[in-house]
Structure 1
Amino acid sequence: MLKFDAEKFVTEGEKAYSLRADIEQIALKVQKEGISNIFFTASGGSNAVMQPFNYWMESKSSIPSYLLTAADFLAVGSKKLNKNSIVILLSKSGDTKETVALAKKMEQLGIRTISIVNKDNTPLAHHSTYAVNTFGYHPQELAFYFLIGKIMQVNNEFNDYEQFADELKSLPGDMNIVAQEVDSKAKEFAEKYQNADYQIWVGSGDLWGTTYSYSMCVLEESQWLRTKSVSSPEFFHGTFELVEKDVPVVLLESEGATRPLDERVANFATKYTDQFTKFDMKEFTLSHISTKFRPIVEPSVMWAALRRVSLHLEDIRDHPLTKRRYYRVVDY
C-alpha cells in the first residue's frame, strides 16, 4: 500500500496512549477544583477536531460546553466565561496566532486552560495552565478521549470510561485494518474525482467536524479542489438544489444517533446524482472496540479511511499535501 507503515502507526499509537495517566490527572485536578463550563477553541482544522467532543458533551453531559473559533472568542468574548470555566485549546504547531493570543488573554483573566500541542517548547504551552504534547502521534483524538471521558466519569456520566479507555489501546491496530479495507475504494475515488470542478461532502453528529475539516483542510487547502461541506440535516435547506447527475456527493455515514439523517441524504443522492459515494462506519472492522463505543471513535476511524484518499490524491495529482499558495507563505 502507498505510504503505509502499519508497525510505525501502532508504535506511535502506543506513545500517544502512554499519555493516558498524565491526562487523567489533569482531568481529576480540574474536576476537583470545580468546572462550571468548558470552552473548546482553536482555529481551522484544529477546531474541527474538537467538534466531536463538544458534541459528546452536549449530548451526554450536564456540564455546559461551547465550541468557538479562537478569533471569534477573542473578538466577541462570552458572557458565559467565568472563574470556574475550563478553556481547551488545540494547535498542532503550538504557535497559531489567534489561539496563542486567546491563551494569553485567559492567563491574564486567571481562567484555567488545557492545551494540546504537537511540539515541545511552544508559545501556546507556555501560556497555558496545563499542556499536553502528543508529538503529532495518531490517533490525535486520544488525548481528548482521556480528558473528556475522565471528566464525564467523575461527573457520573460515563461509568464505562475505564473499559472504553482500556479498549482504546487497540484502536491504532484497528485503524490499520480499516485503512487496508478501504484502500482500493480510496484509490478509485481519487482517480475518479482528482479534477472534479465541484463536490459536496456531507456528514452529521460526531462526524460533522471530520466532514468539515476534510473538505476544507485537505481538499481545499491541500489539494485546491473546490468543495462544499454541509451537515446532513442542513443539506435539505439549500445545498441539495445544486445536486445534478454529474455532481459528486460524498457522505460520511455515522452509526450513531444521527444515522437516520445521513440515510435521508443517501436516499436523495442516489436518485439525483450518478456520482454518489459513501464511507459508512458500519462497514469498518473494529475487532477490539465494543459496539457501544463505536460511535464515539468515529472521528479517528474515519480519519484512517480518508487518509487513504488523501495519499492517493497526492500521488495521482502530483500535488504534495504540504503544498500551499498562501497559508504561512504570504502575509494575511
Structure 2
Amino acid sequence: MINFDEKSMLANGAYIYDQRGHMEAIADQICKEGFDNIFFTSSGGSIAMMNPFVDIINEMSDIPVYSIISADLLLTGHNQLRKNSVAFLASKSGDTKETMEAARYLKERGVRMISVIGKEHSPLEEISDHSVIYKDGRPQELIMYLLIGRILYNKGFFPDYPKFADELKELPAVLVSVRKAADEKAKKYAETYYKEPYNIWVASGNLWPVCYAYAMCVLEESQWIRTKSVSSPEFFHGTLELVEKDVCATLLITEGKTRPLDLRVKGFLEQYTDKFTYFDCAEYAYPGISDEFRWMLSPVVMNAVLQRISKNIEVVTNHSLDIRRYYRTVNY
C-alpha cells in the first residue's frame, strides 16, 4: 500500500485516546458549570470535521446546537449565542485567520470555548478556556467523540457512553483495517477517474460534512479537480439533470438514519451513468466495536476510506496533496 504506516497510525490514535481523562474532565467541568446551548464554529475542513456531531447531538438529545462558519459569524452574529453558550472550535495550525477572529468575538461575549488544535502554544490555545492538542494524533474526530459523548452522558442522554468510550480504544486499529480493506478499490478509483473533467459527489446525514469537505479540501483544493458536492435529498432537486452516461458520480453511504436517502441515489445513478462508484460504511468490519455504535462512526470510517483515494491519487496525478496555488500562498 502506498504511503501507509500502520505503526504510526496506531501510535497516533493512542496519543489521542491517552488524553481521554483530560477530555472527560473538560466535559465534566462544562456540565457542572451549566450551559444553554452548543455552538460549532471554525473554517473549511475544521468545521466540516465537527459538523457530524451536530447530527449526533440532535439525534440523541434535546440540547440546542448550532453550526456556523466563522466568517459568517463575524458578519451576521447569531441570535441564540449568549454568555451561557459553549463553543467548540478547531484548527490544525491554531492560527487560522477567520477562526481566530471568531474566537476573539466569542471571548468578548463571555462564551466558553473548547478548541481542538494541532499545535501547542498557538494563539487559539491561548485564548481558549479549554484545549485538546492532537499534534500528529489522528483521527481528530476521536477527540469529539469523547468530548461530546461525555457531555451527552452527563446530561442523561447517552447512558452507554462508558461502554462506547472504552471501545473507542480500538478505533485506531479499526481504521487501519478499514484502510487495508478499501485500498484496492480506492486505488482503482484514483487510476480510473483522476482525469475526469467534472465530478459529482453525494452523501447524506452524518456523511454529508465528510463529502463536502473531501470534495472541497482534497479534490478541489489539494488536487485541483473540478467537483460538485450535493446532499442525497437535494440531489433530486437539480443535480440529477446533469447526470449522463459519461458523468463521473461518487456516492458515500452512511449507516445512520438517512441511509435510505443514499440508497435512493444509488438506484438512480446505477441506471443513468456508466461512471458510478459508491463507498458503503456497512461493508467494513469494526472489530471491537459494538453494532449499536456503528452509525456514529460512519464519518471517521468513511474518512479512512477516502484517505486511501487521496494517498493513491496524489501518486497517479504526480501532484502532492501539499501543493497550493493560492491558499496561504497569496493575499486575498
Superposed CA deviations along residues 212-258 of structure 1, whole A, max 9, x for unmatched, are 00000000000000000011001001111100001111000011111
Q: Tell whether 2:270 aligns with 1:270.
A: yes
CA contact (8 A) 2:82 2:109 kept: no
Give SS of 1:42's match: coil
Question: Structure 2: 5+ residue runs without aligned partners?
Answer: none
Aligned to 1:58: 58
Inter-partner Cα distance in structure 1 for 2:188 and 2:106: 47
Q: Tell whether 2:71 aligns with 1:67.
A: no
Aligned to 2:99: 99
Inter-partner Cα distance in structure 1 for 2:115 and 2:180: 33
Aligned to 2:44: 44
Inter-partner Cα distance in structure 1 for 2:289 and 2:215: 27
Aligned to 1:287: 287
Aligned to 1:77: 77
Aligned to 1:144: 144
Q: Tell whether 2:121 aligns with 1:121.
A: yes
Inter-partner Cα distance in structure 2 for 1:128 and 1:247: 46
Question: What letter matches 2:169 in structure 1?
Answer: K
Scaled by the length of structure 2, the TM-score of the pair is: 0.99
* Structure 1 residue 132 displacement after superposition: 1.1
Aligned to 1:227: 227
Superposed CA deviations along residues 56-88 of structure 1, whole A, max 9, x for unmatched, are 112211110001000001111011111110011
* Structure 1 residue 25 displacement after superposition: 0.5
Matches of residues 112-191 of structure 1 in structure 2 within 5 Å?
112-191=112-191
Segments of 4+ moved more than 6 angstroms? none
Matches of residues 241-320 of structure 1 in structure 2 within 5 Å?
241-320=241-320
Give SS of 1:114's match: strand
Give SS of 1:296's match: helix
Scaled by the length of structure 1, the TM-score of the pair is: 0.99
Inter-partner Cα distance in structure 2 for 1:132 and 1:255: 28
Question: What letter matches 2:275 in structure 1?
Answer: Q
Superposed CA deviations along residues 258-306 of structure 1, whole A, max 9, x for unmatched, are 1100000000000100111000011011111111101111111111111
Matches of residues 202-213 of structure 1 in structure 2 within 5 Å?
202-213=202-213
Inter-partner Cα distance in structure 2 for 1:287 and 1:43: 33
Aligned to 1:20: 20
Q: Percent identity?
A: 50
CA contact (8 A) 1:92 1:136 kept: no
Aligned to 1:218: 218
Question: What letter matches 2:319 in structure 1?
Answer: H
Question: What letter matches 2:330 in structure 1?
Answer: V
Inter-partner Cα distance in structure 2 for 1:105 and 1:260: 40
Q: Tell whether 2:111 aligns with 1:111.
A: yes
* Structure 1 residue 136 displacement after superposition: 3.5
Inter-partner Cα distance in structure 2 for 1:194 and 1:220: 12
Give SS of 2:148's match: helix
Give SS of 2:93's match: coil
Inter-partner Cα distance in structure 2 for 1:68 and 1:12: 29
CA contact (8 A) 2:38 2:66 kept: yes
Question: What letter matches 1:74 in structure 2?
Answer: L
CA contact (8 A) 1:202 1:232 kept: yes
CA contact (8 A) 2:103 2:124 kept: yes
Aligned to 1:31: 31
Inter-partner Cα distance in structure 1 for 2:11 and 2:167: 16
Inter-partner Cα distance in structure 2 for 1:242 and 1:136: 40
Question: What letter matches 1:248 in structure 2?
Answer: C
Matches of residues 317-328 of structure 1 in structure 2 within 5 Å?
317-328=317-328
Question: Structure 1: 5+ residue runs without aligned partners?
Answer: none
* Structure 1 residue 168 displacement after superposition: 0.6
Superposed CA deviations along residues 31-52 of structure 1, whole A, max 9, x for unmatched, are 1111100000100011110110
Superposed CA deviations along residues 186-207 of structure 1, whole A, max 9, x for unmatched, are 1100001111100100001111
Question: What letter matches 1:101 in structure 2?
Answer: E
Question: What letter matches 1:188 in structure 2?
Answer: K
CA contact (8 A) 1:12 1:138 kept: yes
Superposed CA deviations along residues 73-123 of structure 1, whole A, max 9, x for unmatched, are 111101111111001100111000011111112112211111110001111
Inter-partner Cα distance in structure 1 for 2:13 and 2:276: 33
CA contact (8 A) 2:200 2:230 kept: yes
Question: What letter matches 1:67 in structure 2?
Answer: S
Give SS of 1:233's match: helix
RMSD: 0.7
Question: What letter matches 1:159 in structure 2?
Answer: P
Give SS of 1:66's match: strand
